[in-house]
Amino acid sequence: MDHLGGAGKRRPSVDEYFMDLARHVARRSTCFRRNVGAVIVKDKHLIATGYNGVPKGITHCIHTGCIRMGNPNIELYEVRPPQEIKEFFSKYREIPPGQYHELCTGVHAEQNAIIQAAYFGVSIRDAEIYTTTFPCVICARMIINSRLRRVVYDSEYVDPISEELLGESGIVVEKFLQTKKEPRQLDLRDWMAI
Residues carrying an active site annotation: 110
Provide the angle, in degrees to the nearest 10, between the axes of the packed helices 109-119 and 14-26: 100
Rg of the Cα atoms in the chain = 20
Residue 180 vs residues 12, 13, 39, 177: alpha-carbon distances, Å: 10, 10, 23, 9
Residue environment code for 50-66, b if the CB has 16+ CB neighbours within 10 A, otherwise e: bbbbbeeeeeebbebbb
- Taking Cα atoms as reference points, which of 160, 54, 179, 165 lies closest to residue 151? 165
| Whole-number Å distance between alpha carbons of 19 and 188 | 25
Number of H helices, E strands in the chain: 7, 5
Is the CA virtual torsion 131, 137, 140, 146 positive or negative?
negative
- Sequence-ordered strand ranges (E) for the chain: 37-42, 45-51, 128-133, 150-155, 172-175
